[in-house]
Amino acid sequence: MNKRIVKALYRKEILDILRDKKTILMMIVVPLILYPLIFMFSMYLSSTMLTASTSKSYRVSVQDTENAEELKEFILDQQEEHDYQFIFVDSYTANRDSEEALREKEVDAYVMQSVSENRPYYEIGYMASETDSQTAAGMLKDMLSDYKNDLRDKILEEQGLDSDEVLSPIKFELKDFSTKEENAGYIFGYIVPFLLITSILMGAMYPAIDTTAGEKERGTLETLLTLPVKNLELITAKFLATSTVAVAAALLNLLSMAVMVLYILGSTEAVGQSMEVNLVSYIPALIITLLCVLVFAMFASGVCLCACIYARSFKEAQNYTTPVMLIFMMGGMAGMIPSLRLDGTTALIPVINITLLIAELFKFHFDLSLIAMVLVSNLAYAGIAVVLMARLFSSENILFGDAAASLKLMEARKDMKDKQIPGMGDVVLLFSILLIVMLFGGSLAVSKWGLYGLFVEQGSMLICVLAYCWYIKADFPKVFHFRKPRMKAVIASVLIIFGSYLVIQVIGSVITGLFPGLSTENTEMLVSLWENKPLWLLIMAVAIVPPICEEFVFRGFLLGALEHKYEASVAVVACGLLFGLYHMSILQFILIGLVGIVLTYVAWKEQCIFLSILMHALNNLTSLLIQQYEEEVTKALPFLADDLSAGTAFGMVAVGVVLMVLGYFVLNGGKAKKAAAEV
């Protein structure tokens, strides 16, 4: 790659972006003017509403009470203490009149007395749909609470008892050891990540649209492609230009937020309520946040460019970036979820990892290993996006064809061709649907029905895949690899899966030895689901239903789409890694990802999904039996114990490799390739 060419192209892209008034508007007007105005207006509005609610007089009625005058007098005496103002209106004698008075706004709320369990019972009537009525009811509730306490104290005094000693035999208080800087940082951790992610995305989105769909619409992209430059050089220049604008937008937002913080601190000092926050203490957090801004801007730019490259017009590109914006904004709110913490798993989840890291930094939690994981993972994702963009720019069908062609769902079903192969657009859409089904429907089902919820989750996935393929008139035998397995292939599959099981057990033992925390991921949840369940039910839930449903998704639909789009090696590895990623755990991503590659290779080689289902079932069944009968298994097969010696580990790897190699030669010894080609 020629740096001089990239520099020239970068300069050209920056100049083109800066000529676009929309980009300048989003970069300068929004962060420097609009955000402060919104913030100041919201403060003014909340202050005005609070003042108005307490300074306004509310019309209330006290009716059907034996001590109405006493209660009125008490309320009038105490209202100044609460800064409330009441106007008492004539009492009403019937429930119908009371409701009618509320609906006609003759009163905002009323107090009515009855008897319950031989004690006076007061009812506060109000209209929750009316702001004034709701406010007045809340004020009356405070008044009655004070009235109750006053009556209680009088009764105890009549009995010769000290109310404070009787009702408060102990005293306690909360002592907060957090510093003012930590408390302020806790609040910043909610606000700053969301605003930064939003500003970075907005800063990257418009340049990405302009440098891709905008050039297509203007007809200048064809001219660029005729220049003696490589696709990677062109993409790198566009990527760097978009990232520069995104970083600039984020920095301007930081500047805007810093000015607002200084304004708030100055305002509190002006009224004699200094917060005494040491802003210098936030410098380390701000420095690392700037690094986060840089790497995240690269990732956001890559995602936006990949989405916009399919569009043929500015309007179409905006439609493509809308889902991206929604996903990023949802990730930006991850810091507002109390139970979500930055750990080894969340540090690898895009968008969420940056959000949680910034929130942790402002609370002065500096974990160098997690910081490194977040920064490196975002750089890796950005690199993947650049490589993907380079491949996309090499496709004339993507650059100048109909982008919707890869999404068969865009057509009316009556116009669809029979025996279609899903495109990459179908893969993205379906897996987005499956992600929602798994995260929301699946999690809800498991939390409500436990182990039985797994059947609901897995069945929902299978139904989604089959329904989608039916709707687009997919070639079911070809997509799902419906081919009768050869006996040799069955034997080879058994050898390969047991060989890989031994090797992966050793790999897992090494990883958990280096990183002990990873071994506990999801373990407690599995134990709670499996506890006190019959073996037949566990076998169904672990070794039968998931292998069938998951194989139809990954070695069926996903592999069927990828193998017709990419080289076999790319399709096999991608399918396996996505299978590992689906399990949402670092340890399982590595181990199950390796298992997924093995399963995918056999299914692709033999063009038979039934083999991968068999291998998946044997792998899960073996793990289940070892988990359920750990003591008996380790006695009979001590090499499967958790603590492996170096000699045992070496022996397991040796045996595993031998089994896998033997299975490989059995699988390839027949006419698998020829049979696969015939399919």
pLDDT digits (tens, 9 = 90+) for 642-670: 567 788 889 899 999 999 999 999 998 75
Terminal CA-to-CA distance of the chain, rounded, Å?
42
Percent of the chain residues past pLDDT 90, beyond the cut? 20
Confidence band of 405 (pLDDT split at 50, 70, 90): low
Instruction: Tell whether 560 and 607 lie within a shared domain.
Output: yes
Instruction: Tell whether 188 and 156 lie within a shared domain.
Output: no
Q: How many domains does the chain have?
A: 3
Instruction: Tell whether 290 and 362 lie within a shared domain.
Output: yes
Q: Say what the pLDDT of residue 271 is.
A: 45
Q: How many whole angstroms separate alpha carbon 462 and alpha carbon 149?
A: 61
Q: Using alpha carbons only, what angle is made at residue 361 by residues 360 and 364, rounded to the nearest 5 degrees? A: 95
Residue 473 Cα to chain centre, angstroms: 32
- End residue of a domain, out of 126, 146, 167: 167
Angle, helices 68-82/131-158, rounded to nearest 10 degrees: 110
Instruction: Tell whether 160 and 288 lie within a shared domain.
Output: no
* Residue span of the structural domain in which 134 resides: 56-167
Q: Which amino acid is at 295?
A: V
Instruction: Tell whether 399 and 302 lie within a shared domain.
Output: yes
Q: Say what the pLDDT of residue 513 is.
A: 78
Instruction: Tell whether 530 and 597 lie within a shared domain.
Output: yes
Confidence band of 550 (pLDDT split at 50, 70, 90): very high
Pairing relationship of beta strands 58-63 and 109-116 according to DSSP bridges: parallel
In sequence order, what are the beta bridge partners of 61?
110
In angstroms, the Cα distances linking 179 to 175, 176, 189, 280, 281 are 12, 8, 15, 14, 11
Residue 37 lies in a domain: no
| Most confident by average pLDDT, 15-19, 170-174, 275-279 | 170-174
Residue 460 lies in a domain: no
Mean pLDDT of 270-278: 58
Residue 174 lies in a domain: no
Q: Is 396 left (phi over 0), alpha (psi -120 to 50) or beta?
A: alpha
CB 86 within 8 A of CB 115: no
**Nearest Cα residue to 558 out of 504, 614, 599, 527:** 599
Confidence band of 677 (pLDDT split at 50, 70, 90): very low
Instruction: Tell whether 518 and 650 lie within a shared domain.
Output: yes
Residue 431 lies in a domain: no
Residue 1 Cα to chain centre, angstroms: 36
Q: Is 26 left (phi over 0), alpha (psi -120 to 50) or beta?
A: alpha
Instruction: Tell whether 158 and 247 lie within a shared domain.
Output: no
**pLDDT greater than 70 at residue 517:** no
348-357 long-range CB contacts below 8 Å, 24 or more apart?
348/373, 348/377, 348/586, 348/589, 350/299, 350/377, 350/378, 350/381, 351/197, 351/327, 353/377, 353/378, 354/193, 354/197, 354/292, 354/296, 354/378, 355/193, 355/194, 355/197, 355/331, 356/193, 357/288, 357/292
Residue 419 lies in a domain: no
Question: Residue 194: is it exposed, middle or buried by C-beta count within 10 angstroms (0-12/13-18/19+)?
Answer: buried
- End residue of a domain, out of 116, 138, 167: 167
Residue 440 lies in a domain: no
Mean pLDDT of 619-640: 81
Residue 423, SS3? Answer: coil
Residue 474, SS3? Answer: strand
CB 153 within 8 A of CB 326: no
Residue 288 lies in a domain: yes
In CATH, what number is assigned to the domain containing residue 87? 3.40.190.10
Confidence band of 676 (pLDDT split at 50, 70, 90): very low
Confidence band of 491 (pLDDT split at 50, 70, 90): very high
In angstroms, the Cα distances linking 391 to 320, 387, 398, 567 are 19, 6, 10, 13
Instruction: Tell whether 154 and 200 lie within a shared domain.
Output: no
In angstroms, the Cα distances linking 166 to 155, 157, 390 are 12, 11, 78
Residue 627, SS3? Answer: helix
**Token pair belonging to 395:** 């496709």
Q: What is the dihedral of CA 437, 439, 444, 446, to 10 degrees?
A: 100
- End residue of a domain, out of 356, 382, 406: 406
Rg (CA), the chain: 33
Q: Which amino acid is at 621?
A: L
Backbone φ, ψ for residue 112 (5° rounding): -130, 140
Q: Tell me which of 145-149, 165-169, 376-380 is least confident.
A: 165-169
Confidence band of 272 (pLDDT split at 50, 70, 90): very low
Residue 53 Cα to chain centre, angstroms: 38
Instruction: Tell whether 131 and 197 lie within a shared domain.
Output: no
Q: Say what the pLDDT of residue 663 is.
A: 95
Instruction: Tell whether 298 and 333 lie within a shared domain.
Output: yes
**pLDDT greater than 60 at residue 15:** yes
Exposure letters 49-65 (e unless 16+ CB within 10 A, then b): eeeebeeeebbbbbbbb
Q: How many whole angstroms separate alpha carbon 369 and alpha carbon 624?
A: 33
Instruction: Tell whether 525 and 672 lie within a shared domain.
Output: yes
Residue at token pair 């797994």: 454
Over residues 564-595, the pLDDT tens digits come to 888 899 899 999 999 988 887 777 888 999 99
In angstroms, the Cα distances linking 335 to 329, 330, 355, 359, 360 are 11, 10, 6, 6, 9
Over residues 205-238, the pLDDT tens digits come to 888 888 888 887 777 776 776 777 777 788 888 8
Q: Which amino acid is at 143?
A: M
**Nearest Cα residue to 86 out of 144, 138, 136, 150:** 136
Over residues 413-465, the pLDDT tens digits come to 788 888 888 887 788 788 888 888 887 777 788 878 888 888 999 999 999 99
